[in-house]
């Protein structure tokens, strides 16, 4: 089991467990089952229901080929599409509870997913995936070549976590928010803020708390801080964020 330590832009270390080779292979297999099922359904529709070959028989070979390839596009771009739409997960990865993340603490972007997808030609299509397997086994962070190039890794989401390890906060039923502008933050922002806040509060790192407060005031555009201490202020920010995101 490989522990993956991600250092965020706030110099907070977050520990994850890298997905195992077995989990990644199984997720890959599930994705291929889904793609094969799609191909079977499309084949039945094209050849048996709509009789496409008869409809395009008068076209030249290039045009016919282009039409068939168009229907195959969802299979070709399957991984890129789903990892982009499902925040680093294909359907197979979602079932296995693993996902792609950036190793620098940022949210993986379309460009990152595109790089990983392009390197599938080398990682998975050459030598039947042997290249990817060797890369994952020998890499210190269980990365295939596409991950190394994109600065990503695949982690497992099966870790036992409690509310203190997430962005969630316990809110009273009668809780009333103070700063509506917290909706400017993303979940990734909130996660990094809470990790930084928790670490700084535990070690009484007041300089970091001051910097965090100033950054929040700037980003959220707060005109007046209503709390007396930095800890109280940041705590309210986290609760407000949870209040608005849970009720949207």
pTM: 0.61
Round the average pLDDT of the chain to a whole number and report it.
83
Buried-state track 96-114, b at ≥16 Cβ within 10 A, e below 16? bebbbbbbebeebeeebbe
For the chain, percent helix, then strand, then coil, each to nearest 5? 60, 10, 30
**pLDDT value of residue 204:** 86
pLDDT at position 146:
93
d(CA 236, CA 97): 32
Give CA torsion, residues 29, 34, 39, 41, to 10 deg.
150
pLDDT digits 0-9 by tens, 152-181: 999 888 754 443 444 555 677 778 888 888
Question: Is-contact 192 215, C-beta < 8 A?
Answer: no
What is the pLDDT averaged over residues 81-100? Answer: 93
Instruction: Give the model's pLDDT for residue 22.
Output: 92
Q: Is the dihedral of CA 32, 38, 41, 43 positive or negative?
A: negative
C-alpha dihedral, 23 to 26 to 27 to 30, nearest 10°:
-160
Please give the average per-residue pLDDT across 207-221, as a whole number: 90
* Bridge-based pairing state of the strands 3-7 and 98-102: unpaired
Q: DSSP letter at 18?
A: B
* Higher per-residue confidence, 125 vs 170: 125
- The answer on pLDDT for 246 being more than 70 is no
């Amino acid at each position: 089991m490989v522990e993956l330590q991600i250092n965020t832009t706030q110099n907070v270390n977050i520990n994850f467990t890298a997905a195992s080779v077995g989990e990644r292979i199984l997720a890959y297999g599930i994705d291929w089952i889904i793609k094969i099922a799609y191909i079977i359904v499309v084949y039945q529709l094209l050849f048996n229901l709509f009789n496409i070959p008869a409809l395009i028989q008068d076209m030249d070979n290039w045009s016919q080929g282009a039409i068939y390839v168009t229907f195959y596009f969802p299979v070709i771009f399957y991984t890129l599409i789903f990892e982009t739409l499902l925040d680093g997960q294909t359907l197979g990865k979602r079932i296995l509870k693993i996902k792609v993340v950036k190793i620098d603490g940022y949210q993986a972007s379309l460009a990152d997913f595109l790089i990983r997808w392009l390197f599938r030609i080398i990682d998975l299509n050459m030598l039947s995936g042997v290249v990817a397997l060797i890369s994952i086994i020998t890499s210190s962070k269980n990365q295939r070549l596409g991950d190394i190039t994109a600065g990503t890794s695949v982690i497992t989401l099966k870790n036992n976590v409690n509310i203190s390890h997430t962005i969630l906060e316990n809110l009273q039923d009668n809780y009333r928010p103070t700063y509506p502008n917290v909706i400017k933050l993303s979940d990734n922002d909130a996660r990094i803020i809470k990790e930084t806040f928790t670490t700084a509060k535990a070690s009484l790192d007041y300089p970091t708390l001051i910097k965090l407060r100033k950054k929040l005031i700037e980003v959220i555009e707060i005109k007046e801080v209503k709390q007396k201490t930095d800890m109280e202020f940041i705590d309210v920010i986290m609760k407000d964020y949870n209040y608005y995101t849970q009720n949207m």
